Structures are given as structure tokens and as C-alpha cells.
Chains A and B, each alone.
Chain A
């Protein structure tokens, strides 16, 4: 569809047009080189490249510093594949056992996380007079901790072994579970049907999800056996093909490809899940980078300054709520003050999921401010989260000192 002008002929006319193929390759190569540069920079500085990809997109897009006539069409195709791969691997991130265990032991923390972090986005969206669907999307943007950025920070700060870490990871597992329901729900809402039909289709969607999950638990091993092969090549092609077919079917049904990809990831089980993670990882890195770049390109940077104040407010509010979530979650594991602050700090970054959700909204055109606001929000948190991580122990000491003083006075 994206190559519409070329689709008239039996073959895409790209190769026939004089030098068009060369230009396309040059543009694509150029874009990937820019991404490589940004990734290198991020790697050297020791933080996630996602915010840099976004910044790159903003800078090179329309209204940016250096508007490039990049082959946006091909990047768009790449971005679509990127979303599917991103969500597939997010779905694969936790094994079925980990999801079940998380639900069994961590649900109170999961509920607190949902109540504290989804609500601010939702309410602020509604207060801005946005469409309720856009408000639900903003709720999703503020709710989801970036498991990728979080894991990177925990490793970077040498905190993977700390006692608060299991509670932090548990929150991430539960967010994954919530998204199995949230994403299809959003898909239905974005179809833009009325509330009555909406509720009905929502019920249908929930039943579908439950069925998919049950089928995944029941038939996941069989599905995985179908995919399993001794050759990495076979596993790669089978999984990638299955992913694209499912994503295509979902798009035909006007449900986002992202949702189908995520559910596929949940459905795949060990040992295929393990191999798919390893084999598709590099492919995901490539296409997901294109997705973040594309999101930046699509977002008009001149739209950001007007929403900056709002973004700062949202950052402050939802940083406090994530800190509270971490405080509660780590407290359940008997962790002391400083560890509880560290847990909260690790939960503050938002990233891939938030951008995907904002991207769903942008694609459906529900609220023009959602894209720029989410971009600014993710970027600000990308800067703030490592600072919070670094100062978590100091903040913990302050709280402890304050408590001691109060205890002495009393």
C-alpha cells in the first residue's frame, strides 16, 4: 500500500526508473548510518539508544533542524515491521511460567502499579478535553515502564543482584500481562465504534484474548514444536513469516499488527521462545530503530514546545507515582528504605511501549498532541531516570535521616 504509485505495474517500478533504486539504497543506507552513529553515542554514554533515535527523527524530519528528503516510504515499511518485531520480543521476554508466577505472587503490586500510573495519564487526557480514546492511550503511555531501558540501567548500575530487583522485574512482568488485555482493548476503541457496540466488541476482544492465552498455554508447546528446527535459519524464517502473516491478517481486520505480534510472542513457549529471542534480536534492533526514527520523523518538532510544560508536569507526577509503586513493591519483599527508593527509580523510564501506544494513536489520528507529548515525555524521562538511579541511595539516606529525627522528637 505504501508503494502505491509503483504498485500499478506487475513489478514495483522502482528498479526501472532511472537511478531510483540507487537513490533508494543510498537514502536507506544513510538513515541506517545515522542510526548507527546514534547507537554508538548512546552505547558510549551507557544509556538506551531509544531516546537518541527519537531525537534523530525529530531533527531530520519535517520542521526539524536538517530536514532530509529521506526515503520515508521505505522507512515506514521498516517501521511497521519494527513495531511487530518489538512487540513480538516484548511478548517473548517472559516465559509462561514467569507470567503465571508473577500473577500469583505479585498481583497486589501489579494493581498498585496500574492504579497509580495509568490513572494520571487517563485523567490528564480527559482534563485536556481529549477524546476518551486518546485519554486511554495517554494512560497507557504513562503506565508502561520501559523494560528495555530498566534492564539496561540495572545492569549499568550493577544492581541486578540487589534485593529490590526481583520486585522491580515482577512489576515489568505484570505490565506485560496487563498489556495482553490493554492492547486489544485499545485496538477495539480505535476502531471508533459507538459506546454500546464498543462495549460489545470489547467483550468479544476480551474473550478472544482469554481464548488466545488459554490456547497458548494448552497448545503453545505444539505451536513451538511446529516452529522448532535444528537450523537457526528455519526458525528465523518460520517465526518471521508467521509474524508478518499474523500482522497482515490483523491489519486487514483493522486491528493493529502490534497486538497480533504481542500475542504471538506470549503464545510461543520454550525452547523456541529462547531461540527466537536470540535469533530475532538483531533483526528487532534494526527494524525497531527504524520505527523510533520514523516516529520522530512523523512528529513535528515545532509541536513540542507548546506541550513541553504539560510534558514536564506529567513527568513530575508520574515519576512520583512510579517511585511510590517501587516503594510499595520492594517493601513487600522486606527491602529497606534505600532499596525501596532504588526500586522506584528503576521503574521511572518509559520507552518502547509508550511510543508504540502513541504511534497507534497517531496512525489512527485520534489526537494530534498525543505524538509530540509522548515524544517529549519519553525524552525527558530518559534524561531524568539515570539521574534518579544515581541519586536513589542519597534520597534513601535523606528519608532515613528524616525518619530518625522524627522518631527522636516523638
Chain B
């Protein structure tokens, strides 16, 4: 990761920027409304934006997707909206959960055929499609996909309140 500089813009929002390996400075303004603006600075005059693009939410997702960012969860959310009967939920594995330290294989032997863990978010990083040997830790956020009833059952098992 390159070093990102953060600059508060009072009344507007916040600006993040960094220098790309070819020397151009690139930044993003996050407006207080949540709207994003992509900035590309002038190479000769680093004080000036050569180009600033206002992005709507759709633009953001498209751009992030093109760059291969960690958009698994949002894409899944869209998927769940598109596929009828498919639900999605996020569950945090609490410390002391019976499945803390257990692998996903362990979870799969349990009779939960109508839901499964499709991704795990750990320390801000997303691990999409974790293998059967993937061991859960406390404070992992598991992304579950399946039927509504299956997800509820799986979620309460993971939380340890079943």
C-alpha cells in the first residue's frame, strides 16, 4: 500500500490522495453527502487538478469492480436482490463462539445444507470463497448465502446462541 494523505475539507468532506508510481497524483474527495469525486492532478502543477470526475454510486461500484477491489460483498448483495429465494447476511463471530478456531469443514458436517459461508472478512480484508481448511477466528465477519431459514440457523450457530 502506498502512503495515503488525508486532508479535511471543512464543510465539504475529506480528501484522500497519493502519488501513483508514474508520478501523477490521484485523489478522491468524499463529500459529506457520501458522493465521491475522483481527482487527477496536473503533473506539472501539483497544486491543480487536471481532471475531476463526479461519481454517482453506480459509477463508484463499476470503477471499483474494474480495478478488482474488494467488492465481493456489495456484488453479493446485488446478486441476492436479483435471485429470488436467495438471502445474504453478515455475521460477526464473537469471542467465545463454539466455532472460534474451527475450520469451515467442521461447519459443513453440521446439517446446514441450505446455507453456507461464501466469504470471510478479517481485519478489513475480504477472503472470498474460503476453502474447507479456512479456520475462523473471533471477530471475523462471515458472509452467509442461502435460504432465509438456513441463514438464520447458521448465524445463530456461529454466534453460539443456538
Name A residues whose Cβ lies closer than 8 Å to a Cβ of B. 93-94, 98, 101-102, 147, 151, 158-166, 169-170, 172-173, 274, 278, 335-336, 338-339
Question: Can you pick out 19 interface pairs between chain A and chain B where the beta carbons lie within 8 Å of each other?
Answer: A151-B11, A158-B49, A160-B52, A161-B15, A161-B29, A161-B39, A161-B49, A163-B48, A164-B47, A166-B8, A166-B10, A169-B10, A169-B11, A173-B10, A274-B32, A278-B33, A336-B47, A338-B48, A339-B48
Give which listed residue, A158, A159, A172, A278, contacts B11 with CB less than 8 A. A172
**Nearest CB of chain B from residue A372's CB, rounded to whole Å:** 31
Instruction: Kindly report which residue of chain A lies nearest to residue B31, judged by CB atoms.
Output: A160
Name B residues whose Cβ lies closer than 8 Å to a Cβ of A. 7-12, 15, 17, 27, 29, 32-33, 37, 39, 41, 45-49, 51-52
**Nearest CB of chain A from residue B19's CB, rounded to whole Å:** 13
**Nearest CB of chain B from residue A159's CB, rounded to whole Å:** 7
| CB within 8 Å for A172 and B10 given contacts A159-B49, A162-B48, A163-B47 | yes
Give which listed residue, B9, B33, B41, contacts A160 with CB less than 8 A. B9
**Nearest CB of chain A from residue B52's CB, rounded to whole Å:** 4
In the bound complex, do residue B11 and residue A98 qualify as a contact, i.e. CB atoms below 8 Å apart? Answer: yes
Central interface residue in B12, B45, B47, B51, by most chain A CB within 10 Å: B47
**Cα distance A267–B3 in the bound complex, in angstroms:** 36
Instruction: Kindly report which residue of chain B lies nearest to residue A171, judged by CB atoms.
Output: B10
Instruction: Kindly report which residue of chain B lies nearest to residue A95, judged by CB atoms.
Output: B10
With a cutoff of 8 Å between Cβ atoms, the chain A residues found around residue B10 in the complex are: 94, 98, 101-102, 166, 169-170, 172-173
In the bound complex, do residue B15 and residue A101 qualify as a contact, i.e. CB atoms below 8 Å apart? Answer: no
**Nearest CB of chain B from residue A100's CB, rounded to whole Å:** 11
Instruction: Kindly report which residue of chain B lies nearest to residue A339, judged by CB atoms.
Output: B47
With a cutoff of 8 Å between Cβ atoms, the chain A residues found around residue B52 in the complex are: 158, 160-161
**Nearest CB of chain B from residue A302's CB, rounded to whole Å:** 38
With a cutoff of 8 Å between Cβ atoms, the chain B residues found around residue A93 in the complex are: 11
With a cutoff of 8 Å between Cβ atoms, the chain A residues found around residue B47 in the complex are: 162-164, 335-336, 338-339
**Cα distance A161–B15 in the bound complex, in angstroms:** 7
**Nearest CB of chain A from residue B111's CB, rounded to whole Å:** 39
With a cutoff of 8 Å between Cβ atoms, the chain A residues found around residue B33 in the complex are: 278
Give which listed residue, A101, A161, A164, A335, contacts B8 with CB less than 8 A. A101
**Nearest CB of chain B from residue A97's CB, rounded to whole Å:** 9
**Cα distance A93–B47 in the bound complex, in angstroms:** 26
Instruction: Kindly report which residue of chain A lies nearest to residue B54, judged by CB atoms.
Output: A155
| CB within 8 Å for A173 and B11 given contacts A161-B39, A274-B32 | yes
